[in-house]
Amino acid sequence: MLTGKQRRHLRALGHDLKPIVQVGKGGIDDGLVAALDQALSDHELVKIKLGEHASLDRQQAADDLAARTRSEVAQVLGSTVLLCAAYSLGASLWIPAMVLTVLSFVYSLVDEAFHWRRYVQRHSDRVEMWSHVGILVGHGTLMVAWWAWLLGGYAGVGETLAALSAH
């Protein structure tokens, strides 16, 4: 759910956008939802034009489109609707993410072993060695933070905008 401040920010971003999707007299069908899904995937913030011959209540149409595309209604103004993509990560990302994390960390450990080997054989200095230790620690911290974000649940664009605007 978007706050008023978030909606204002999205309205400002969407002000100069041209409508990408138009709802005609056929109303909201699967083809329109697929086109809107693609537009949201490509742009994240999409303006929709409700045609004159579309016999739909504007707010109801906006809510229906948002529900069917897993997005948030940022604005309904006249015959125009502004939608913002909202993300949810499924379990399908868990295994590939874990594999990539493990591979990435193993690579870092192997790289670190080679640097320690160079240091022990006196082919590198302390500054180089400790800089690589710092890189390894930073890499590990980044991966732990990413997993905390993934497992904690990513609530969507609205919450991200709120967190960014709070700082």
Spatial CA neighbour of 32 closest among 46, 18, 15: 46
Yes or no: say if 110 and 50 are a contact pair by the CB < 8 Å rule: no
Quote the CA–CA distance of 156 and 86 in Å, as a whole number: 5
Quote the CA–CA distance of 40 and 69 in Å, as a whole number: 8
Q: What is the pLDDT of residue 153?
A: 63
Using a 10 angstrom Cβ sphere, with 0-12 exposed, 13-18 middle and 19 or more buried, the burial of residue 37 is middle
The strand pair at 21-23 and 45-50 is best described as parallel
Q: What is the pLDDT of residue 6?
A: 84
CA atoms within 13 A on the CB side of 123: 6
Query: Could you give the residue ranges of the DSSP H alpha helices within 15-75?
Result: 30-43, 58-69
In this prediction the pTM is 0.54
Q: What is the pLDDT of residue 88?
A: 56
Q: What is the CATH class of 4-85? A: alpha beta
**Paired tokens of 41:** 């995937």
Quote the CA–CA distance of 62 and 69 in Å, as a whole number: 11
Quote the CA–CA distance of 70 and 87 in Å, as a whole number: 7
Rounded to 5°, the CA angle 146-147-152 comes to 105
Quote the CA–CA distance of 93 and 99 in Å, as a whole number: 10
Spatial CA neighbour of 67 closest among 91, 33, 25: 33
Task: List per-block mean pLDDT (blocks of 10 residues) for the chain, which spans 167 residues.
Answer: 85 92 88 92 91 83 91 92 77 74 89 88 87 89 81 63 71
Q: What is the pLDDT of residue 82?
A: 96
Domains of the chain, by residue range, sit at 4-85, 91-162
Q: What is the pLDDT of residue 80?
A: 93
